[in-house]
Structure 1
Amino acid sequence: MHQPTVLVVDDEPKIRDIVRRYLEADGFAVIEQADGPGALDAARDQRPDLIVLDVMLPRLDGVEVLRRLREGSQVPVILLTARDEEVDTLIGLAVGADDYMTKPFSGRELAARVRVILRRVNPARSAPEATVIRHGALTIDTARREVSTARGPAALTALDFDLLLTLARHPGHVLTRRQLLQAVWGADYFGDERVVDVHIRTLRRALRDDATDPVYLETVRAVGYRLIAPPIA
């Protein structure tokens, strides 16, 4: 059995120690780093299954670390932030974070979120799905986890792929933010519904879909989102 590895990046030793103890109690192997450059080196050399990344880091802040990670990796990332306004957090979500928690946080809740994300990214393979879903020019290969449009391949994060797949399985139907949270983030997700809006924006950017004149993703005001069903020929 593969033991999932979590890279914990925070410049406060006490926080790293708390996170490490909760994650190890849940069966995860833990790598620790205290600054941005160290985080990038560990992510490259040790290839963790998930990264818990503080926004406020010395030498290189967490948002910039995440930006550089996303240039060549889709490893799931949970951001930690101490800022009430959560501006940096929302920027980080736009760059490609999967989730965030605001300090002070519960170590037990963090461990639960790590489990949820890793279950979503690495589902059980007992009955592998090998389906290609097509909606007009949009093609979703669920086995390869690849997406293409009329403009060619679209580079999606693991979470954005799952968000698109959830919408694609209900073409033409409006899904509320709460329904999307439960389907993609998991029923035990405790975060803000705004995270859905942020990831819809990054998904649109990857698909090159204009929100004012959408081809794929439509916003239904005050309700949620839907994948536009292509016209029947």
Structure 2
Amino acid sequence: MVRILIVDDEKEIADLLEFYLQNEGYDILKVNSGEEALQIINNHKIDLAILDVMLPDIDGFSILKQIREKYFYPVIMLTAKVENMDKIMGLTIGADDYITKPFNPLELIARVKTQIRRTKLYNKDIEPDSIDINGLYINKNSHKVNLYGKEIDLTPLEYNILLYLAKNRGNVISSEKLFTNVWGERYLDNNNTVMAHIARLREKLNEDARKPKFIKTVWGVGYIIE
């Protein structure tokens, strides 16, 4: 599902955007300040951002600059300002579109769809650089893992186990296949290494051993992230 971040300190506008975008089937994250926006940006997978320029703490241009230091998803600037220099500045920094208030919600929806369509066409053969699974965020570039916004300290081996299961999300991975692909060695039937590392990984993810949320055991078969 496409996830859209809405950043606007005017609650009525943010709620209006959320209503229209949710009706189109998009997953919405909505915040009212720049600080909240940066926390979401750094800890969640975002597919498109609608960013107000005038915020109470950090202006939209500064947030846009920080987005463009790491990410390439579309950003639509939303503002009451109509000066051409503001539009030029936003587009120069890296905004993909610019809409002034008041606006027609249906026009904004159309522009959102255009940006998402362009992104999908451009990135259709590019593997994403991050994986987001219900609050578990894996950044493949930095090799960092965040759980509900808090960084989890994993060993390189634990990270590789988690990444392999996440990349094969929805598929049951046997202990043999996991060991062969992560350790790069021949698996022996009496090898309990995988089980021990899965247990340690679950512990770091604060998993309930009886009802794990992320790494589930399919008894007699292997492990799966659903």
Q: TM-score range by the shorter chain?
A: 0.5 to 0.7
Which letter does structure 2 place at the counterpart of 1:69? I
After superposition, the C-alpha distances for 1:111-154 in whole angstroms (9 at most, x for unaligned) are 111111101101399xx7xxxxxxxxxxxxxx559xxxxxxxxx
Match of 1:59 in 2: 57
Cα 1:124–1:85 change in 2 (3 A) is: closer
Q: Which residue of 1 aligns with 2:77?
A: 79
| Partner residue in 2 for 1:31 | 29
Matches within 5 A, 1:101-180: 101-123=99-121, 143=125
Runs (4 or more) in structure 1 with deviation over 2 Å come to 86-89
Contact 2:78–2:99 (CA<8 Å) still a contact in 1?
Answer: yes
CA 1:144–1:29 in structure 2 vs 1: closer, same or farther (change >3 Å)?
closer
- Compute the TM-score of the two structures, normalised by the length of structure 2: 0.53
**Contact 1:55/1:62 (<8 A) preserved:** yes
Provide the TM-score with structure 1 as the length reference. Answer: 0.52
Q: Do the aligned residues in 2 keep the contact of 1:82 with 1:102 (CA within 8 Å)?
A: yes
Specify which of 83, 88, 91 is matched with residue 89 of structure 2.
91
Q: Give the counterpart letter for 1:82 in structure 2.
A: A
> Is the contact made by 1:10 and 1:34 (CA closer than 8 Å) also made in structure 2?
yes
Supply the distance in 2 between the matched residues of 1:27 and 1:102 (Cα, whole angstroms): 24
Q: Does the CA contact (< 8 Å) of 2:3 and 2:47 recur in 1?
A: yes
- Could you tell me which amino acid in structure 2 is paired with residue 123 of structure 1? L
Change (3 A) 1:121 1:14: same
d(CA) in 2 for partners of 1:110 and 1:94? 21
CA contact (8 A) 1:81 1:89 kept: no
Cα distance between partner residues in 2 of 1:124 and 1:98: 14
Aligned length: 127
Q: Which runs of 5+ in 1 are unaligned?
A: 129-142, 146-233
Identity of paired residues, percent?
41
- Mapped to 1, the partners of 2:14 and 2:97 lie a distance apart of 18
One-letter amino acid of the counterpart of residue 15, structure 1: I
Q: Residues of 2 paired with 1:15 and 1:119: CA distance? A: 24
Q: 2:40 aligns with which of 11, 28, 42?
A: 42
Shift of 1:47: 1.6
Deviation digits for residues 146-192 of structure 1, max 9, x if unmatched? xxxxxxxxxxxxxxxxxxxxxxxxxxxxxxxxxxxxxxxxxxxxxxx
Provide the C-alpha distance between the structure 2 equivalents of 1:52 and 1:94, rounded to a whole number of angstroms.
Answer: 17
The structural deviation recorded for 1:87 is 2.5
Mapped contact 2:73–2:119 kept (Cα < 8 A): no
> In structure 2, do the counterparts of structure 1 residues 124 and 78 end up closer, same or farther at CA, with 3 Å as the change threshold?
closer
Letter in 2 for 1:28: Y
Q: Distance in 2 between matches of 1:144 and 1:27?
A: 24
Q: Is the contact made by 1:55 and 1:89 (CA closer than 8 Å) also made in structure 2? A: no
The unaligned stretches of length 5 or more in structure 2 are 128-226
- Which protein has the larger Cα radius of gyration, Structure 1 or Structure 2? 2
The offset of 1:103, in angstroms, is 0.3
